[in-house]
Amino acid sequence: MSYQDIRYEVDGPVARVTIDRPKVMNAFRGTTCDELIDALKRAGWDREIAVVVLTGAGEKAFCTGGDQSSHGGSYDGRGTIGLPVEELHAVIRDIPKPVIARVQGYAIGGGNVLAALCDLTIASENAQFGQVGPKVGSVDPGFGTAYLARIVGEKKAREMWFLCRRYSAAEALAMGLVNVVVSAEDLDAEVERWCAEIAERSPTAIALAKRSFNMDTDHIKGIGALGFEAVKLFYGTAESKEGVNAFLEKRKPEFRKHAK
C-alpha cells in the first residue's frame, strides 16, 4: 500500500507511524484508518522491528479523532460506521510488539482512545487529553469507554465522557492515562530511550506478556462490535446530525430539541 494520510519510517528496530494530516489536527478519515491498519500490521509482523511508535505530524495534535468534514450520517470509509475503527483498535492490541503513543498537543476524542489503547503513552507537557463524542453527537461504545474505565477508573472515565472536559498532561499522568510526561524538547529523546530499552528485551517474552494483558479485556471487543451497530443507527438521527452540523457551522448544538 502507498500512503497518503500517514508516514511510515523505520530506524533500526523502531517503526514510526505518523498520522500526517496536520491541517485537520491529524483527524482520521476512512483512508487514514486503512493506512494505519496496514502500517501497524507491516511493523507488527516484521521480525526486525522491536517496537512501534504511533504519533501525529506537527506540534499541535497527536490526533483529534474522526474527521467531522467526512461525517454526514456516516463516515467516508468501510466498517460499521464508515470508519474501520474497530479493526484499528484491534490491530494495536493484536500485533505482538509494544505500541508507544508519542503524544504532543491534542489527543482528543478518537485520538484520546488511540493513546489509551497503545501499550505505553509518553506525553509532552503541552499535551491535552479528553473525550468529545457527546459534544458532536457521537460515542465510542467499546474500548473507548470500557477499557478507559480500566485505566483511569469508573468515576473518572464517566466524568471524561459526560462532561467532555480537557485534561493536561500532568492530570493525565495523575489518573494513569499516560506513563510519563516530559518537556516538548525532550519528547523524542524520551521515546528513543524507551524504545532502546524495549529493543534489548526478549521479543517472545514481550509478545507473551502483551497477549496475557490483553486476555483480561478482550471481551470488550464484543461490547464494541455491538455498540458500534447502535452508533450506526444513532448517526442516522436528527440528534446526532445536529452535533455534526453545529461543529461544521461553529455554533453550539441544540441536541434536546432533536432528541426523541
CATH code for position 87: 3.90.226.10
Q: Does residue 201 form part of some domain?
A: no
21 vs 106: CA distance, rounded Å? 13
**Model confidence pLDDT, tens digit, residues 170-199:** 999 999 999 999 999 999 999 999 999 999
- Pick from 245, 244, 239: nearest CA to 258: 239
Q: Does residue 210 form part of some domain?
A: no
Count of structural domains within the chain: 1
**Residues 89, 82: contact at Cβ < 8 Å?**
no
Please, is 185 exposed, middle or buried when counting C-beta atoms within 10 Å of its C-beta (0-12, 13-18, 19+)? exposed
pLDDT less than 70: residues of the chain: 70-75
Q: Does residue 107 form part of some domain?
A: yes
**Model confidence pLDDT, tens digit, residues 196-234:** 999 999 999 999 999 999 999 999 999 999 999 999 999
Q: How much is the pLDDT for 82?
A: 84
Number of H helices, E strands in the chain: 11, 10
- Mode of pairing for the β-strands spanning 120-124 and 180-182: parallel
Q: How much is the pLDDT for 91?
A: 98
Q: Does residue 205 form part of some domain?
A: no
Q: Does residue 47 form part of some domain?
A: yes
Q: Does residue 180 form part of some domain?
A: yes
Q: Does residue 238 form part of some domain?
A: no
Q: Does residue 54 form part of some domain?
A: yes
Q: How much is the pLDDT for 168?
A: 98
What range does the domain containing 133 cover? 6-185
